Amino acid sequence: MSDRQLSLNLFIYPGGHHEAAWRYKGSAAERILDVTYYQELAQKAEAHKFDAIFFADGPALADNVRYAQRFRFEPITWLAAIAVATRRIGLIATASTTYTEPYNLARLFASLDHLSGGRAGWNIVTTSTAQAAQNFGLPEHPPHHERYERAREYLDVITKLWDSWEDDALINDPVAGVFADTDKIHAINHAGKHFRVRGPLNISRTPQGRPVYVQAGSSDDGRAFAARFAEAIFTAHQTLASAQEFYADIKRQARAYDRSPDQIKVLPGISPFIASTQTEADRLQDEFNELIQPEYSLTQLRQMIGLDLSGFDLDGRFPRHLIDTSAARGVASRFKLVVDIVDREKPTIRQLVQRLAGARGHWVIAGPPEKIADNIQTWFENGAADGFNVMPPWLPGGFDVFAEQVVPILRRRGLFRDDYAGTTLRDHYGLHRPPSAFSSTIQAIA
């Protein structure tokens, strides 16, 4: 059994990651308001010893909700309901540094980490959906670099809040009549460009010290932020080469921040169509692509590259000349990803939207279980990934087939755990528990 093992998350998206998943006969589209549906998915991921489940988020309703299940529960609330139905699976929620305040978010994640016994993770986003601004009284979405400037200060403040109670500050001794050692609870008195926060937090230090920091940046700002703060990094790549470039760059930047590369997990997304033969797997993927609705896909594409192709012949060649690469729109990395597909594969418009329908630009692969396991092993053993965000094309069936047919192969090859070694998300990822920056031992060292 090799000692380096894969980290596997289940990325839950209501009906599944293929944009037409909810229309597929096997999906559970009618259950997406039912909390037991998500509790069962989490219990299944836990039964197969996955590291965590993950929920994305954006504080605004997507334009194309007419054609797809594009609404969202608030992730931390959602995960609290799942925490009580599970015991080991990590619980990763997305929350925005642009559209929340540190003190509130510190309380929410501290509560989730306490009530789950140390299983909380925070996917730190600056929010990619521009429409969110109007929901928070802003005339427009702050520019990319400004969002990251605020995010850096935000991380500084919230980390201090989670450290404001030292680990042994909570006494809770009714006989002695002492609840907390107030010498070990610290005001943070933060005064910066974006925030003024006195603190301390009004809840004691959490089992993990703080939630696991997750991030999914891929721009220069995003990568630098990830290398400085993130303990797990989500990313989207279509090819081994582009994943290797990202992996090497992040680990190199992390070393420059004096961080140990093994304390950062790089987790690309993978969306597998699995069947017993290649032909059947391709047919399954085609079946999903036949369910897509151009109105939805073209809106998605417009958000990614800023081009409205609704008047074009879908079976005509994609009009490459209309893309203005100098003015990348939306998420810069997704813009580049789409342009790379167009330049590499010269698709028709229909072929392009079918390529993206699978998982919004993440790696989509079809084939028998052995092939999926081989590809996962190749990325894992060739400097492209420390694990994966598994994005089933449809739920729950697309996850069942991965867990029941691919995971056993990975286990037989010694690439994935047989059982949990610990109880917290940090244990699962092999991450250290950070000491409080206020603790006397740290102060003495400082």
Ligand X SMILES: Cc1cc2nc3c(=O)[nH]c(=O)nc-3n(C[C@H](O)[C@H](O)[C@H](O)COP(=O)(O)O)c2cc1C
- Choice between 163 and 221, CB closer to ligand X: 221
* 358 touching ligand X, by CB under 6 A: no
Residue 166 or 221 with smaller CB distance to ligand X: 221
Q: How far apart are CA 164 and CA 30, in angstroms?
A: 44
> Is there binding between residue 395 and ligand X (CB under 6 A)?
no
> Which token pair is 261?
């590369």
From residue 220 to residue 239, the character string flagging contacts with ligand X as x (rule: CB under 6 A) and all else as - is: -xx-----------xxx---
Q: CB-based burial of residue 115 (10 Å sphere; 0-12 exposed, 13-18 middle, 19+ buried)?
A: middle
Q: For residue 300, how many other CB atoms are within 10 A of its CB? A: 22
Which of 56, 203, 291, 307 forms a contact with ligand X (CB under 6 A)? 56
CB 232 within 8 A of CB 208: no
Should residue 285 be labelled a site residue for ligand X when binding is judged by CB under 6 A?
Answer: no
Closer by beta carbon to ligand X, 210 or else 334: 334
Instruction: Identify the residue among 102, 199, 209, 217 touching ligand X (CB under 6 A).
Output: 217
Determine if 424 is a binding residue for ligand X (CB under 6 A).
no
Q: HSE (CB half, 13 Å, CA atoms) of 198?
A: 1
Judged by beta carbon, residue 337 or residue 372, the one nearer ligand X is 337
Residue 263 binds to ligand X (criterion: CB under 6 A): no
404 by DSSP, 3-state: which?
helix
Q: Looking at the DSSP assignment, which residues form a beta bridge with residue 235? A: 268
Residue of 27, 242, 389, 439 that binds ligand X (CB under 6 A):
389
- Residue 218 in contact with ligand X, rule: CB under 6 A: yes
Q: Report in angstroms how near the CB of residue 127 gets to ligand X at its nearest.
A: 4
Q: Is the dihedral of CA 196, 108, 152, 221 positive or negative?
A: negative
Beta carbon of residue 218, minimum distance to ligand X (angstroms, whole number): 4
Q: What does the block give as tokens for 304? A: 């990614």
332 binds ligand X (CB under 6 A): yes
DSSP string, 67-107: GS------HHHHHHHHHTT-SS-EEEEEEESSSS-HHHHHH
> What residues line the site for ligand X (CB under 6 A)?
56-58, 94, 123, 125-129, 216-219, 221-222, 234-236, 269, 331-333, 389
